Structure 1
Amino acid sequence: MVYSSSNPVLSNRFWNNISGYETMSYEGTMQKIGILFGIMAFSALMLVTIGITVDMNILIVGTGVGFFGGFITYLILLFKRPENPATLMIVYAVFEGLLIGGFSLIFESMYSGIVFQAALGTVCITGTMYGLYATRIIKATPMFKKIIFTLVGGIMLLYLVSIVLFFLPGNFDVPFLHSSGPIGILITLAILAVASFLLIINFDFIEKGIQNRSPKVGEWWGAFGLLVTVVWIYIEMLRLLAKIRSNFD
């Protein structure tokens, strides 16, 4: 099964499509981040609990609903860019919770402790990237953004091809993308690195929005963009750890 995510809210030009009177603040943005991540965590916990105590088939269905529901909601937010996106973003957080809840339990059933390892790795990556951004060791320059956007686009195209091949008869697949050999591990490491660098652009987007006194609704977009990236990092961490552990367990 293939799961992927990318971040649609990464360009300063995005602000041209937002109108409003109140302006962004750090406090408001952190509040929105807490809301979306909290809802996602609750959704994941509920699915896992129901799957374990009631029926594992519910877990499988919930994971599928999370993937397709999240993908559709993501596309709506990406292309329509509503002026009041809070409701759709909360719905998206629920779907993402279903996705990572089911995804996590599936991997945990194969490799004990892998969820904690992936979560810890995600926290460490997020903290490290924020430190690198805050100290300006890494800056979100136009060239940096262009490179990361190009790489993200290429990765998303690669995943799209992989998903299409998955549903075609004949067991076709993108070579090495899902393999546990050295090349497969290196590919996942490279994808994880790109997802991690995407955080720099997330942080820059939020900071620039606050500095430029952008409309307060931008707090939701900043929180949403961060959620998308962190979930992507977590999923890639799970995949990387699973590939590594499959060679030893």
Structure 2
Amino acid sequence: MRSSNPVFSRRGFSRDNGYAGFNTAPQAGGAAVGTQANPYAQPQAGNPYAQNPYAQNPYAQQDLQHGAPPQAPATTGRMTLDDVILRTGTTLGVLIVTAALAWALLPVDDANISRSYGIGIGAALIGMVLAFVQSFKRKASPALILTYAAFEGVFLGVISSIVDNRIASGAAMQAVLGTMAVFAAVLVAYKAGWIRVNRRFVGFVMAAALGFILLMAVNLLFAVFGGGDGLGFRSGPLGIVFGVIGILLGACFLALDFKQVEDGLAYGAPREEAWLAAFGLTLTLVWIYMEFLRIIAILNSSD
């Protein structure tokens, strides 16, 4: 889509206690993170995930009538790592399938490239709108997330086909391998403790990402009204530099995504949070893939 990631309004960033519950303590049995309240505690004042015990236990009112305390809410609805893996795999699977269909059904030869490119851009705009809608929603909408993935896949299929067939053969596979390498490297570094996601880290990443996106927006405005590539931030040597910066920012967002998943598991987040984790990971992986694809296209484009 575009070189931006609407993660700023994800649930984790909008909490009063910071990203993904920084300085909070997990439930009993989880790894200690801090000393403040657990944002997923059940129930808890001010906790957006706190559930009314009567909503989950239809016999709670009857228990009160007989003088017995209500039963504790069931814990089977909490998010697990399998939930995150399954929903992320489903979201990426939809994206890959629609990308493959777009690649196969939308030719990019001289006679059809304009039409295929137009369809791809239209799909990108729809995907962008859906991504922002989900980003500002307080709850995950699986249908919305999967629809976003479908339209995003169409765009990626068209763009990848154009770059692969007209600029650099094998570019799409190289970008996929690069994205997978970044994902694996960040995961290993995060699990090994080489990357520590704290408030300072989040503040730095958010400031850097905001500056990056503003520069890209200014470049786009100059390109629209002045023609060419605007200020040259997305082509030539500067394009490569900003592409590398974009990949590094994507790697930082992956660390934030891993922290969000880790905290959600420790704090007993509801199962629906797995869809938000899948959505965030998909956004970040698309960002990284597009930056790799852009760098490959620049390196292989003729002068």
Q: Same fold by TM (over 0.5)?
A: yes
Equivalent in the alignment of 1:124: 181
Give SS of 2:107's match: helix
Equivalent in the alignment of 2:26: none
Equivalent in the alignment of 2:3: 4
* Alignment check: 8 A CA contact 1:5 1:229 kept: no
CA distance in 1, matches of 2:195, 2:150: 32
CA gap 1:35/1:216 in 2 versus in 1, 3 angstroms: same
CA gap 1:233/1:102 in 2 versus in 1, 3 angstroms: same
Shift of 1:71: 1.1
* Alignment check: 8 A CA contact 1:5 1:228 kept: no
The answer to whether 1:28 aligns with 2:30 is no
CA gap 1:57/1:171 in 2 versus in 1, 3 angstroms: closer
Q: If each structure's helix is expressed as a fraction of its own residues, which one has the higher value?
A: 1
* Alignment check: 8 A CA contact 2:94 2:153 kept: yes
Residues 190-239 of structure 1: CA distance to partner in whole angstroms, max 9, x if unpaired? 12111111100000001100110011111000010000000000000011
The code of the aligned residue for 1:131 comes to V
* Alignment check: 8 A CA contact 2:121 2:155 kept: yes
- 1:112 corresponds, among 165, 169, 180, to 169
Equivalent in the alignment of 1:216: 271
The answer to whether 1:199 aligns with 2:254 is yes
Report percent identity of matched pairs: 24
The code of the aligned residue for 1:6 comes to N
* Alignment check: 8 A CA contact 1:36 1:89 kept: yes
The answer to whether 1:243 aligns with 2:298 is yes
Question: Which of structures 1 and 2 has the larger relative contact order (alpha carbons within 8 angstroms, sep 6+)?
Answer: 1
CA distance in 2, matches of 1:82, 1:211: 20
Which structure 2 residue ranges, 5 or more long, are not aligned?
A: 21-38, 40-46, 52-74
Residues 159-198 of structure 1: pairs in structure 2 closer than 5 A: 159-168=216-225, 170-171=226-227, 173-181=229-237, 183-198=238-253
- 2:205 corresponds, among 148, 167, 187, to 148
Residues 97-116 of structure 1: CA distance to partner in whole angstroms, max 9, x if unpaired? 01111110111121111111
Residues 39-58 of structure 1: pairs in structure 2 closer than 5 A: 39-52=94-107, 55-58=112-115
Shift of 1:184: 3.0
CA gap 1:53/1:229 in 2 versus in 1, 3 angstroms: closer
The answer to whether 1:102 aligns with 2:158 is yes
* Matched residue count: 244
Residues 29-81 of structure 1: CA distance to partner in whole angstroms, max 9, x if unpaired? 111001100000011111111113995455223211221001111121122x1
Shift of 1:85: 1.1
Give SS of 1:155's match: helix
- Tell me the TM-score normalized by structure 1: 0.89
The answer to whether 1:91 aligns with 2:147 is yes
Equivalent in the alignment of 2:191: 134
The answer to whether 1:232 aligns with 2:287 is yes
Which structure 1 residue ranges, 5 or more long, are not aligned?
A: none
